[in-house]
Chains A and B, each alone.
Chain A
Amino acid sequence: DTAVSQTPKYLVTQMGNDKSIKCEQNLGHDTMYWYKQDSKKFLKIMFSYNNKELIINETVPNRFSPKSPDKAHLNLHINSLELGDSAVYFCASSQDLSYGEDTEAFFGQGTRLTVV
């Protein structure tokens, strides 16, 4: 069973379109994240959600809107797509540190978004 799954794996779309990427984790983790990996492989955190609540929003344009219907899902909706949005987007989840255990983040397989 896939621990963190994101769909679609590949997404090609035109500038100006609106698109969504879905993410689900079956690990029972409290915290979920979205990361953006650019062409130089740099991984940057975008959002962090804990128990459906937005915890961290790292200077991301408001065209990006995360939605967490429950703690197992964190979807990313992007409005008015721009060429610079082309990247690989990773969803990840981890157990809340407040439980006293520090665990690694488990990553989805990534979604390669290409804006043309």
Chain B
Amino acid sequence: AQKITQTQPGMFVQEKEAVTLDCTYDTSDPSYGLFWYKQPSSGEMIFLIYQGSYDQQNATEGRYSLNFQKARKSANLVISASQLGDSAMYFCAMREAGGTGGFKTIFGAGTRLFVKA
């Protein structure tokens, strides 16, 4: 079963506007971590922001903020004041117990963001 769902395969946003990338997750663990990564066309994976399941406040990192709604199991990424360099694939990820004493980070299918000039 899909544990991380990103329902938007592609998104367009006008430069300087804000955009929200959706992510919902499914887990029965009380403790987990949620992450967003950016993958530009060059291919590297760039960490953007992290939210812990027990964090009371939404995480923010510069122009990135995570809209964490625990009861709805959603962790949407908000990018404010979009820039042309924000055009990339964005992956939502969750770290949870791997079932064998370890942990694993699993990824959603990604959302490709296009920023228009």
Give chain B residues whose Cβ lies under 8 Å from the Cβ of A104: 35, 47, 50
A64 within 8 A of B: no
Query: CB distance A45 to B104 under 8 Å?
Result: yes
Given A48-B98, A102-B33, A102-B95, A56:B104 Cβ within 8 A? yes
Main secondary structure of the interface of A (DSSP, over half): strand
Query: CB distance B107 to A97 under 8 Å?
Result: no
A55 within 8 A of B: yes
B89 within 8 A of A: yes
Query: CB distance B107 to A31 under 8 Å?
Result: no
How close is A24's CB to chain B, nearest CB, in angstroms? 16
Query: CB distance B35 to A97 under 8 Å?
Result: no
B 18-59 to A, binary, CB cutoff 8 A, 1 in contact else 0: 000000000000000101010100011101001010000000
Give chain B residues whose Cβ lies under 8 Å from the Cβ of A110: 43-45
Interface size in chain A (residues, C-beta < 8 A): 29
Complex Cα spacing A109 to B43, Å: 7
Query: CB distance B43 to A88 under 8 Å?
Result: yes
Given A88-B43, A106-B47, A107-B44, A45:B101 Cβ within 8 A? no
Query: CB distance B102 to A31 under 8 Å?
Result: yes
* Residues of B in contact with A (beta carbons under 8 Å apart): 33, 35, 37, 39, 43-45, 47, 50, 52, 89, 91, 93, 95, 98-107, 109-110
